[in-house]
Amino acid sequence: MVDYVFRVGGEGGEGVISTGEMLTLALARAGFEIYTFRTYPAEIKGGHASYQVRASGNLLLSQGAAVDVLVAFNEEAYQKHIKDVRPGGVVIYDSDSFSAAAHDSTICYSVPLTSLATEKVGIKLTKNIVALGVLAGLFDLPVATFEELLKDRFGRKGETVVQKNLLALRVGIEHAKQIKRRDAIRLGAGPRKTKELVLSGNESLALGAIAAGCRFYAGYPITPATDIMEFLARELPKIGGYVIQTEDEIAAIGAVLGASFAGKKAMTATSGPGFSLMTEMMGLAVAAEIPAVIVDVQRVGPSTGMPTKTEQGDLYLACYGGHGNCPRIVMALNNVEDCFYGIMQAFNLAEQFQMPVVVLSDQYLGHRKATVPVPDPSRVPVVERRKPQGKEMADYKRYRFTPDHISPMSIPGMEGGGYIAEGLEHDERGYPAASDHENHLRLTQKRYGKFVEVEAIANDLVRIHGEPHPEIGIIGWGSTEGVIREAVQMAQAKGYSVGAIHPKILYPQPLAKLREFMQGTKAVIIPEVNFTGQFATLLRKRFAYDFIQLNKCIGLPFTPKEIFDKIEEVAAHVHGGRRVHAAKL
Amino acid sequence: MAQVKEYIGKIKPDWCPGCGDFGVLNSLQRALAELDIAPHNVLVVSGIGCSSNLPGFIHSYGFHGLHGRSLPVASGAKLGNHALTVIATGGDGDGYGIGVGHFVHTCRRNIDMTYIVMDNQIYGLTTGQASPTTEKDVRTKSTPEGTIELALNPVALALSCGATYVARGFSGDNLHLAQLMKGAIEHKGFALVDVFSPCVTYNKRNTYPWFRERVYKLEDDQQYDPADFRLAMEKAFEWGARIPIGLFYKVERPTYEDEEPALRSGIPLAKQPLERADLAALMEDFI
CATH number at residue B13: 3.40.50.970
What CA–CA distance (Å, rounded) separates A566 from B236?
70
Among A199, A129, A124, smallest CA distance to A162 is for A129
Q: Which residues contact A157 (CB under 8 A, 6 or more apart)?
A: none
Interface probe with B: pick from A192, A236, A261, A290, most Cβ of B within 10 Å: A261
- Given the DSSP bridges, would you call strands A48-56 and A33-39 parallel, antiparallel or unpaired? antiparallel
pLDDT, one tens digit per residue, over B4-24 is 999 999 999 999 999 999 999
Of A241, A247, A422, the CB nearest to B102: A247
Binned average pLDDT, 10 residues per bin, chain A of 585 residues: 93 87 94 90 79 94 93 94 94 93 85 96 95 96 93 94 96 96 92 92 97 96 98 92 97 98 98 98 98 98 96 98 97 98 98 98 97 95 94 92 97 96 96 96 98 98 97 97 97 97 98 96 97 97 95 96 96 63 31
Distance from CA of A574 to the nearest CA of B (A): 47
Domain extent, residue B239, equals 4-284
pLDDT of the residue at B278:
75
**What average pLDDT does chain B have?**
96
Is B62's CB within 8 Å of A213's CB? no
pLDDT tens-digit series, residues B190-237 = 999 999 999 999 999 999 999 999 999 999 999 999 999 999 999 999
Domain ranges of chain A: 3-178, 198-379, 386-449, 461-582
Give the C-alpha separation, A116 to A127, whole Å.
Answer: 7
pLDDT of residue A584: 30
pLDDT at B65: 98
Please check whether residue A256 touches B, CB under 8 A: yes
Cα–Cα dist A19/A268, whole Å: 31
CATH no., domain A3-178: 3.40.920.10
Q: What is the pLDDT of residue B242?
A: 97
CB contact under 8 A, A377 and B276: yes
Nearest CA in chain A to B101: A247
CA distance B46 to A409: 20
3-state SS track over A370-424? EEEECCCHHHCCCCCCCCCCHHHHHCCCCCCCCCCCCCCCCCCCCCCCCCEEECC
pLDDT in tens, B134-192: 999 999 999 999 999 999 999 999 999 999 999 999 999 999 999 999 999 999 999 99
Query: Residue B167: what are its φ and ψ, rounded to 5°?
Result: -135, 160
pLDDT mean over B246-274: 92
Strand order from edge to edge, sheet including A472-475 = A463-466, A498-502, A472-475, A523-528, A548-551
The neighbouring-strand residues paired with A267 are A217, A293
Question: With 60 as the cut, is the pLDDT of residue B111 above it?
Answer: yes
Cβ <8 Å between A420 and B79 = no
- Select the CATH number that applies to the domain covering A461-582 from these four: 3.40.50.12780, 1.10.10.350, 3.50.50.60, 3.40.50.920: 3.40.50.920
In the structure, what pLDDT confidence band is assigned to residue B114 with cuts at 50, 70 and 90?
very high
Nearest to A199 among B60, B65, B286 (CB): B286
Q: Do A140 and A30 meet the contact criterion of CB atoms below 8 Å apart? A: no
At A100 the pLDDT is 84
Peptide bond into B154 cis (omega under 30): no
What is the DSSP pairing of strand A242-245 with strand A472-475? unpaired
* Residue-level pLDDT at B275: 66
Indicate the number of domains in chain B. Answer: 1
CATH class (in words) of the domain with range A198-379: alpha beta
CA–CA separation, A563 and A528 (whole Å): 10
> Do the Cβ atoms of B283 and A424 come within 8 Å?
no
- What is the DSSP secondary structure assignment for residue A271, as one 8-state letter? -
* Beta strands, E only, A290-338: 292-298, 329-332
Residues of chain A positioned with their CB less than 8 A from the CB of B278: 239
**Residues of A numbered 201-240 whose beta carbons fall under 8 angstroms of chain B's beta carbons: which are they?**
203, 207, 210-211, 213, 215-216, 218, 235-240
Q: Shortest CB distance from B283 goes to which of A244, A374, A413?
A: A374
**Residue A242 distance to chain B (closest CA, Å):** 6
Indicate if A461-582 has the same CATH topology as A198-379: yes
Which residues of chain B from 137 to 156 reach within 8 Å of chain A, CB to CB?
none
Q: What is the ipTM of this complex?
A: 0.97
DSSP symbols for B115-157: EEEEE-SSBTTTTSB--TTSPTT--BTTBTT---SPPP-HHHH
Predicted confidence band of residue B1 (pLDDT cuts 50, 70, 90): confident
Q: Is A241 in contact with A214 (CB distance < 8 Å)? A: yes
Chain B residues inside the 8 Å CB shell of A244: 75, 79
Indicate the helix (H) or strand (E) that contains B106. Answer: helix B100-109
Q: Tell me, what's the pLDDT at B276?
A: 57
Q: Check residue A319 and give its pLDDT.
A: 98
CB atoms within 10 A of CB B200: 16
**Are the Cβ atoms of A258 and B45 closer than 8 angstroms?**
yes
- All residues of chain B having their beta carbon less than 8 Å from the beta carbon of residue A285 are none
Q: How far apart are CA A406 and CA A571, in angstroms?
A: 47
Amino acid at site A418: G
What's the average model confidence in pLDDT over B255-280? 86
